[in-house]
A and B are shown apart, each in its own frame.
Chain A
Amino acid sequence: DGGITQSPKYLFRKEGQNVTLSCEQNLNHDAMYWYRQDPGQGLRLIYYSQIVNDFQKGDIAEGYSVSREKKESFPLTVTSAQKNPTAFYLCASSIAYRTGRNTEAFFGQGTRLTVV
């Protein structure tokens, strides 16, 4: 079945460590996104990528980094510069670039990151 896979489901990070969240999709979607979800805040866009080897900052990119070396993969690194990283992180993908149309986003199951 096609879909988006995020791993791990739960992740614990010590102060000062970088951690990488995985996101893989087999939907042949061009666009991929990372969102952060905090209670009462809705979903906020961290980074997005419309095509391989290209990505753009979203609204809250500080302290995060991404790469898009393959169409299927869009990992997110939470760096030590992110002062409050404890949150729920959602990855999404959508058909976007070549068709000239954008459609709904499909989401992974999320990763809960906790700083210990």
Chain B
Amino acid sequence: AQTVTQSQPEMSVQEAETVTLSCTYDTSESNYYLFWYKQPPSRQMILVIRQEAYKQQNATENRFSVNFQKAAKSFSLKISDSQLGDTAMYFCAFMKPHGGGADGLTFGKGTHLIIQP
């Protein structure tokens, strides 16, 4: 079974600063997907960014980028030029490709990110 660990229950930064959220995972799989989801106060889960394990290049989406270290099983999210609307719970998640047995996303417990004005 996979496990996902987010070691920062809460973080707070000033608007326009850069913030990095940490995530580590444990798996014996060689191919898999990693995600960061954002859950604002509305509780709607929104995909922020996705990384495929077989791709060495780190994924980027506008102000959001990841640092994927496969050997270290680390998958951190960097938010540049943070905005008030970035305030939310952020979940790191792991997914096995289909055919690998039990499926579904495995989530970390989340990091509550607060952007201060």
Contacts and interface: CB of A to CB of B under 8 A. Distances in A.
A16 to B, nearest CB: 28
Given A101-B97, A103-B33, A107-B45, A41 B105 contact: no
Interface string B34-52: 0100000011110100100
Interface string A71-102: 00000000000000000101010001101111
A99 B35 CA distance: 20
B91 A42 contact: yes
A45 B98 contact: no
Interface residues of B, number: 24
Contacts of A33: 104-105
Interface residues of A, number: 29
Nearest to A107: B45
A92 B105 contact: yes
A100 B35 CA distance: 19
Interface string B74-117: 00000000000000000100011111001111111110000000
A109 B43 contact: yes
B109 A102 contact: no
Contact of A105 (B97, B99, B105, B109): B105
A41 B108 CA distance: 8
Interface of B: 9, 33, 35, 42-45, 47, 50, 91, 95-99, 102-110
